[in-house]
């Protein structure tokens, strides 16, 4: 339909006026935002770098990269935008498409790793993995056939080429020779041309060699309909323990076997994003790997799967905690619930396989049991479904959209302040040492999650048990009854104007006093002539006992004469000099007495200020 609209725009504005035709086409895309994007699938044998190429084009680590054959099982997809060639300038727009990573064809289990830690035969997954590869090939707009340039064309590569010819998709296939780390590997990459799909593209997914030429070619090969911006849709992450029915739930939403479903625990490894449209609303469901205890992890692949599941929780808007109605709540569910509470994610508790226990349990009893075990998610809604029979799935999707809208709601500041004031009047925090708790201002800072900030006089009075009470009251009185609220406190930092002026004035007076005292206590810089002039005018000399050169005044004759002249001056002048003595001036006392000249150079004893006795002769009586 969008191609027809584009043709109408060209007819209306003419082929010459391409700018108006492009504007017309952009408005048409806004009218049809849910139109599917072109798809690009990456196929090939194991360990040729398909997942590395996928991550390179996406720009982040999505698919698990591991040398073990059969690491990728499901179809992992992401929406990617490629920039136009540089020679087109800024007039051209980026083009978006859906990139799909598939499992390696031909080898699905590692050597010696046919059986997992539970004794299950992993070879039983072969038909389903091949079905996923076949579905990606049939629906793809463009197929990237990846080979290893360093190992050359193998028999398995020729078998995949024969399979692609049998599917009658030869016109959509393009050879990509991976692991071309530098120009020395370019001749080896040309060997892939004998597969019959044209000249191969040489690049290195690991180092990025040849990436710009490849993305420019990819932009030219994609249809213009793919230039629409990727819509911001609700993302739902489905998390839970192994064999809880997460993949079955995704297939029930898709109406087709979109992901592999098996009784073998740990079948899902990558986080698979699947886009849906239901009742005019589009959303993305993220199927994650099953969680189990860390001590039970078998290899590095399971470690990567766990990290991918945690990343899916972080980028999701709403999380679905899927439970098995036949199993008791374990530490795995409690740890997942704690992580969801810590991340402040809107969560729906979905009880799967309810059709197997509905004759033995009632929804009321099971709800009370969940409230007791998962007390941190007491605000989360509970839904009972059967993914295998597709019962209750519509209600689950509606609840997820309701949680999404609640988390995106922004409350007015006036209602927030009125609500908090009413809560404090009913019950305020316990005062400590006569301190009364006060709230100065309340405001909502952000959405998803709703973040409410309170400016108070003492934040420590609102922390702990009262913060939990305040959250419960906000859940009841605000339109955030089923989503988590992030509540923060801070003390008032604003200073009153009069107090600020007094503080500034007090600081200035103290600095002035300090400067005056330093200037008054500074040693005199006047020469001896100035001292003589001061003596002639009957004025006292500075009380500082040190001269300009750092020596004591008592060591010079001038100082002694000055002291004698001071003694001989009038009593009035002496009293005046005594009155002007600075009380803060440090007293150095009298200068130490010099030792007797007879003892200089003879007695090594330390001078203590006491007159030494005369030395006795050795032979004396």
Give helix 2-13 / helix 18-31 axis angle, nearest 10°: 150
SS (H, E, C) 264-278: CCCCCCCCEEEEEEE
Residues 46 and 194 reside in one and the same domain: yes
Residue 300's pLDDT band (cuts 50, 70, 90): confident
Residue 515's pLDDT band (cuts 50, 70, 90): low
Instruction: Specify the pLDDT at position 147.
Output: 94
Q: Is residue 274 included in any domain, yes or no?
A: yes
Residues 421 and 282 reside in one and the same domain: no
- In this structure, the strands spanning 234-240 and 318-324 are parallel
Residues 351 and 389 reside in one and the same domain: yes
How does pLDDT run across 234-274, given as a tens digit for each residue? 999 999 998 899 999 999 998 888 888 877 776 887 888 98
In this predicted structure, the answer to whether residue 557 has a pLDDT above a threshold of 50 is: no
Q: Quickly list DSSP for 483-552.
A: S--EEEEEE-----HHHHHHHHHHHHHHHHHHHHHHHHHSPP---HHHHHHHHHTT-PPP--SB-TTS-B
Length of the chain: 621
Q: Quickly list DSSP for 333-347.
A: HHHHHHHHHHTT--E
In this predicted structure, the answer to whether residue 619 has a pLDDT above a threshold of 90 is: no
Sheet architecture: strand order including 95-101? 76-82, 95-101, 39-43, 142-148, 173-178, 201-202
Min mean pLDDT across 155-159, 508-512, 607-611 is at 607-611
Top pLDDT among 207 and 593 is at 207
Percent over 70 (pLDDT), the chain? 69
Residues 367 and 454 reside in one and the same domain: no
How does pLDDT run across 433-443, given as a tens digit for each residue? 667 888 999 99
Q: Which residue has the tokens 């009364």?
A: 436
Q: Which of 491, 518, 536 is the last residue of a domain?
A: 491
Instruction: Tell me the average pLDDT across 547-558.
Output: 52
Closest by CA position to 523, among listed 497, 551, 499, 504: 551
Q: Other C-beta atoms within 10 Å of 280: how many?
A: 6
Residues 206 and 239 reside in one and the same domain: no
CATH number for 260? 3.40.50.300
- Residue 568: cis peptide before it, omega within 30 degrees of 0: no
In this predicted structure, the answer to whether residue 551 has a pLDDT above a threshold of 80 is: no
Residues 391 and 418 reside in one and the same domain: no
Min mean pLDDT across 137-141, 279-283, 453-457 is at 279-283
Q: Is residue 24 included in any domain, yes or no?
A: no
Instruction: Tell me the average pLDDT across 154-161.
Output: 93
Residues 207 and 239 reside in one and the same domain: no
Residue 616's pLDDT band (cuts 50, 70, 90): low
How far apart CA 153 and CA 177 sit, in angstroms, is 10
Q: Quickly list DSSP for 167-193.
A: TT-GGGEEEEEE---SGGGHHHHGGGG
Instruction: Tell me the average pLDDT across 534-557.
Output: 51
DSSP state of 295: G
Min mean pLDDT across 27-41, 260-274, 463-477 is at 27-41
Q: Which of 214, 230, 246 is the last residue of a domain?
A: 230
Residues 417 and 365 reside in one and the same domain: no
Residues 89 and 102 reside in one and the same domain: yes
In this predicted structure, the answer to whether residue 554 has a pLDDT above a threshold of 80 is: no
CA 148 centroid distance within chain? 36
Q: Is residue 542 included in any domain, yes or no?
A: no
Instruction: Specify the pLDDT at position 120.
Output: 67
Instruction: Specify the pLDDT at position 248.
Output: 93
Residue 106's pLDDT band (cuts 50, 70, 90): confident
**Average pLDDT of the chain to the nearest whole number:** 78
Instruction: Specify the pLDDT at position 204.
Output: 94
How far apart CA 52 and CA 146 sit, in angstroms, is 11
Domain range for 249: 232-407
Instruction: Specify the pLDDT at position 510.
Output: 54
Please return the burial class of 516, using the count of CB atoms within 10 Å of its CB with bins 0-12, 13-18 and 19+. exposed
Min mean pLDDT across 27-31, 135-139, 162-166, 180-184 is at 27-31
Instruction: Specify the pLDDT at position 304.
Output: 85
How far apart CA 46 and CA 62 sit, in angstroms, is 17
Q: Which of 210, 230, 250 is the last residue of a domain?
A: 230
Q: Quickly list DSSP for 70-102.
A: T---S-EEEEEEEPPPGGGTTSSPPEEEEEEE-
Q: What is the dihedral of CA 420, 421, 427, 430, to 10 degrees?
A: 90
How does pLDDT run across 473-495, given as a tens digit for each residue? 999 999 999 999 999 999 987 65
Top pLDDT among 293 and 283 is at 283
How far apart CA 520 and CA 522 sit, in angstroms, is 6
Give the residue ranges of DSSP H helices in 410-455. 413-426
Closest by CA position to 94, among listed 105, 85, 81: 81
Instruction: Tell me the average pLDDT across 73-92.
Output: 84
Percent over 90 (pLDDT), the chain? 46
Q: Is residue 574 included in any domain, yes or no?
A: no
How far apart CA 166 and CA 173 sit, in angstroms, is 13
Residues 400 and 417 reside in one and the same domain: no
In this predicted structure, the answer to whether residue 140 has a pLDDT above a threshold of 70 is: yes
In this predicted structure, the answer to whether residue 336 has a pLDDT above a threshold of 90 is: yes
How does pLDDT run across 205-231, given as a tens digit for each residue? 999 999 999 999 999 998 876 444 445
Task: List the beta bridge partners of residue 347.
Answer: 319
Q: Is residue 536 included in any domain, yes or no?
A: no
Q: Is residue 240 included in any domain, yes or no?
A: yes
Instruction: Specify the pLDDT at position 330.
Output: 93
In this predicted structure, the answer to whether residue 374 has a pLDDT above a threshold of 90 is: yes
Q: Is residue 543 included in any domain, yes or no?
A: no
Instruction: Tell me the average pLDDT across 101-114.
Output: 74
CATH number for 458? 3.30.300.20
How does pLDDT run across 384-407, given as a tens digit for each residue? 999 999 999 999 999 999 999 999
Min mean pLDDT across 18-32, 48-62, 210-224, 320-334 is at 18-32
Min mean pLDDT across 123-132, 134-143, 166-175 is at 123-132
Instruction: Specify the pLDDT at position 34.
Output: 47
Instruction: Specify the pLDDT at position 262.
Output: 77
Residues 66 and 51 reside in one and the same domain: yes
- Tokens coding 88: 């087109």
Say how many domains are in the chain: 3
Instruction: Specify the pLDDT at position 582.
Output: 52
In this predicted structure, the answer to whether residue 526 has a pLDDT above a threshold of 60 is: no
Instruction: Specify the pLDDT at position 301.
Output: 80
Residue 519's pLDDT band (cuts 50, 70, 90): low
Do the beta carbons of residue 233 and residue 284 sit within 8 Å? yes
Residues 113 and 254 reside in one and the same domain: no
Instruction: Tell me the average pLDDT across 566-585.
Output: 48
Instruction: Specify the pLDDT at position 113.
Output: 61
Kindly list the distances between the CA atom of residue 34 and the CA atoms of 41, 225, 278, 551, 579, in Å, as whole numbers in the listed order: 21, 12, 11, 94, 96
Neighbouring residues of 542: CB distance < 8 A, sequence distance ≥ 6: 523, 524, 526
Give helix 393-407 / helix 246-254 axis angle, nearest 10°: 90
In this predicted structure, the answer to whether residue 331 has a pLDDT above a threshold of 60 is: yes
How does pLDDT run across 410-419, given as a tens digit for each residue? 999 999 999 9
Q: Is residue 8 included in any domain, yes or no?
A: no
Residue 498's pLDDT band (cuts 50, 70, 90): low
């Amino acid at each position: 339909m969008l191609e027809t609209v584009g043709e109408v725009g060209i007819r209306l504005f003419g082929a010459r006026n391409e700018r108006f035709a492009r504007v017309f086409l952009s408005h048409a895309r806004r009218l049809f935002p849910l139109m599917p994007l072109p798809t690009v699938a990456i196929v090939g044998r194991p360990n040729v770098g398909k997942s590395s190429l996928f991550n390179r084009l996406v720009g982040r680590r999505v698919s698990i990269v591991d040398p073990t054959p059969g690491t990728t099982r499901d179809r992992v997809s992401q929406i990617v935008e490629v920039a136009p060639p540089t020679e087109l300038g800024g007039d051209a727009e980026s083009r978006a498409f859906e990139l799909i990573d598939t499992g390696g064809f031909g080898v699905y289990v590692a050597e010696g790793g046919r059986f997992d830690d539970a004794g299950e035969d992993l070879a039983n997954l072969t038909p389903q993995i091949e079905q996923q590869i076949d579905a990606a090939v049939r629906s793809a707009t463009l197929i990237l056939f990846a080979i290893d340039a360093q190992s050359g064309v193998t028999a398995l590569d020729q078998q995949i080429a024969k399979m692609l010819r049998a599917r009658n998709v030869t016109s959509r296939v393009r050879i990509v020779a991976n692991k071309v780390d530098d120009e020395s590997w370019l001749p080896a990459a040309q060997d892939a041309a004998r597969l019959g799909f044209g000249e191969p593209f040489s690049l290195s997914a690991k180092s990025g060699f040849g990436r710009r030429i490849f993305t420019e070619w990819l932009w030219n090969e994609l249809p213009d309909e793919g230039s629409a911006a990727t819509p911001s849709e609700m993302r739902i992450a489905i998390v839970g323990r192994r064999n809880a029915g997460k993949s079955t739930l995704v297939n029930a939403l898709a109406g087709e076997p979109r992901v592999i479903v098996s009784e073998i625990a740990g079948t899902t490894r990558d986080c698979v994003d699947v886009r849906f449209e239901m009742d005019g609303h589009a959303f993305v469901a993220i199927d994650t790997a099953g969680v189990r205890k860390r001590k039970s992890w078998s290899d590095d692949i399971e470690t990567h799967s766990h990290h991918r599941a945690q990343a899916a929780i972080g980028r999701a808007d709403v999380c679905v905690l899927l439970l098995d109605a036949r199993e008791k709540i374990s530490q795995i569910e409690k740890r997942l619930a704690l992580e969801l509470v810590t991340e402040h994610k809107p969560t729906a508790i979905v009880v799967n396989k309810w059709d197997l226990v509905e004759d033995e349990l009632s929804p009321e009893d099971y709800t009370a049991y969940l409230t007791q075990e998962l007390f941190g998610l007491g605000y989360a809604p509970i839904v009972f479904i059967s993914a295998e029979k597709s019962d209750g799935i519509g209600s689950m999707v509606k609840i997820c959209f309701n949680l999404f809208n609640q988390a995106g709601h922004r409350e007015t500041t006036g209602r927030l302040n009125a609500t908090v004031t009413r809560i404090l009047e009913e019950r305020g925090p316990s005062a400590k040492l006569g301190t009364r708790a006060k709230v100065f201002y309340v405001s909502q800072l952000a959405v998803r999650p709703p973040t409410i900030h309170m400016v108070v006089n003492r934040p420590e009075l609102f922390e702990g048990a009262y913060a939990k009470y305040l959250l419960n009251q906000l859940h009841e009185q605000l339109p955030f009854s089923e989503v988590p609220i992030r509540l923060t406190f801070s003390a008032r930092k604003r200073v009153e104007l009069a107090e600020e002026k007094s503080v500034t004035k007090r600081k200035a007076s103290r600095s002035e006093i300090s400067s005056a005292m330093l200037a008054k206590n500074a040693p005199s810089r006047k020469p001896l002539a100035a001292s003589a002039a001061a003596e002639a005018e009957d004025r006292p000399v500075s009380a500082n006992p040190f001269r300009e050169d750092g020596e004591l005044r008592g060591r010079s004759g001038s100082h002694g004469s000055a002291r004698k002249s001071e003694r001989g001056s009038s009593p009035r002048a002496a009293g005046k000099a005594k009155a002007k003595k600075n009380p803060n001036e440090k007293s150095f006392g009298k200068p130490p007495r010099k030792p007797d000249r007879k003892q200089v150079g003879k007695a090594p004893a330390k001078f203590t200020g006491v007159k030494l006795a005369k030395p006795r002769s050795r032979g004396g009586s």
